[in-house]
A and B are shown apart, each in its own frame.
Chain A
Amino acid sequence: MQKILFAGPVGAGKSSAIASVSDSGVVHTDVGATDQVAELKARTTVAMDYGTLKIDESLTIQLVGTPGQQRFSFMWDILSNGAVGVVLLLDNSRPDPIDDLAVYLRAFGGLIQQQGGAGVVGVTHIDCSSTPSLAQVHRCIVQMGYQLPVFEVDARQREDVKILLLALASELNPSTYRRRVAAR
């Protein structure tokens, strides 16, 4: 089975995004949140979220949500193994979404840049905070050496998550594929 990762900081909407498009019931590995996370939400993912998207009788895509807390970052490498693409979700209501972007691009940049890999970025909670703007997020992505699609997203809305997946599929399509790093 092919695998698509959903990555990003705590509360960005990874679990919600998977749930909005998964064919099967989403398996969560979450527990009651403690420490600072408890101020954001009641539960937090400690291993991964798991959903599926059935393409046809012979093909099913795994939708895997990574834990958001950086102390579980060892799981990011494990879960990246065998993934073909990553959806990075950023929470615009967090104190420094640009710093979050840098953290997750560094962590998953190898997957994005590998032969046959790709990434897209979804920015959530823009209704809570309009800055940074999508243009600012895109500029940072280019400065870091990438050229990725960036969209405003409500992770609970299937139509928004659908756009993320369509963009990812487009980036992975061999007809458009030629890996290049954005010009600095």
Chain B
Amino acid sequence: MGFDQEGFHVHGAESHLESVMRSGDTASFRAGDCLLGMIKQGFESGCAWSIEVEGSGVVHADFKKGIYQASVRSEANFFGVNPRYATVAPFRHGVERGGRPVEELLWKAAFYGSFGRLLEGCNLFDVVELQRWPNFTRLPHSVCCLPLCSLLARRPSSIAFAHRMLRVPPGDAMRFYSAARSAGYLRVISAQPDASGPSAMLDTEEDPSGSSFSGFWTRLFGRVVGL
């Protein structure tokens, strides 16, 4: 299972990752299980909020202006936290000019909250099309995300197909799909009603180039990864 193995800062009795694994809930996650739910509420409110995780940092988000500023030690620790350890308060000062686009918070929250699981409401066999590439120079990602984007931008496909075609590890594929759907980068062309969990994904031999072809371009990809 493609769980993120980064060490997460512990708040309270256990880390969020450990609680997820202990609960056995490995198939999917809800927005409310991580900061994604909180951030979506922020969008609906149209207000300015401070979201603080003690010991990890704070994010000031002005959902009306569409910008945010963050002061966090580790984004993985902050956005991967169990939301019961986060506090939200109105931010009366407003975010200064020069903040980042607030939509980035949706990607970060879903990416780090996923732990390799699929967001509830997403189906591995949904046929989706990438509308616009995420700004990967400023967003967390794995290298597998780039070939996935290239494929989904060129031909609407399901994640189940794409991950097999490109030999992307299932956890990475589900994390990408959860983040891309949350942040609005994907358009669902055909939604599948039946839930299908990780059993629908076959274990793949990881290929960092995202392709089963050992051609010139996979060699270039591999070389650039090593830069």
Contacts and interface: CB of A to CB of B under 8 A. Distances in A.
Interface of B: 98, 101, 132-133, 135-138, 143, 146-147, 149-151, 153-155, 165-166, 209-213, 215-221, 223-225, 227
Interface stretch (A31-39, A66-74, A148-156): A148-156
Nearest to B138: A152
A94 interface: no
21 contacts: A55-B220, A56-B223, A130-B98, A133-B101, A134-B135, A151-B135, A160-B137, A166-B146, A166-B221, A166-B225, A167-B146, A169-B146, A172-B217, A173-B150, A173-B209, A173-B218, A173-B221, A174-B211, A175-B165, A175-B210, A178-B155
Residue from the set A130, A149, A153 with the largest chain B CB neighbour count within 10 Å:
A149
Given A173-B209, A175-B147, A151 B220 contact: no
Contacts of A96: none
Contact of B133 (A133, A149, A165, A178): A149
Contacts of B227: 21, 158, 162, 165
A176 B133 contact: no
B223 A55 contact: yes
A57 to B, nearest CB: 11
Given A166-B224, A169-B224, A152 B135 contact: yes
A171 interface: yes
Contacts of B212: 175
Given A169-B221, A173-B210, A174-B215, A151 B136 contact: yes
Nearest to B146: A170
A178 B165 CA distance: 14
A130 B65 CA distance: 14
B154 A178 contact: yes
Give the size category of A's interface with B: 35 or more
A159 B141 CA distance: 13
B136 A61 contact: no
A184 interface: no
Given A2-B216, A169-B217, 6 more contacts: A149-B150, A163-B146, A166-B225, A169-B221, A173-B147, A174-B217
B153 A152 contact: no
A106 B225 CA distance: 30
Contacts of A149: 133, 149-150
A173 B135 contact: no
Nearest to B151: A176
Interface in A104-133: 127, 130, 133
A163 B221 contact: no
Interface in A137-161: 138, 147, 149-153, 158-160
A46 interface: no
A165 B221 CA distance: 8
Nearest to B211: A175
B101 A150 contact: no
A138 B132 contact: yes
Nearest to A151: B137
B136 A163 contact: yes
B224 A173 contact: no
A56 B224 CA distance: 12
Contacts of A61: 220
B137 A163 contact: yes
A149 B145 CA distance: 12
Contacts of B225: 162, 166
B154 A176 contact: yes
Contacts of B224: 21, 53, 162, 165-166, 169
A135 interface: yes
Contacts of A174: 211, 213, 215, 217
Contacts of B211: 173-176
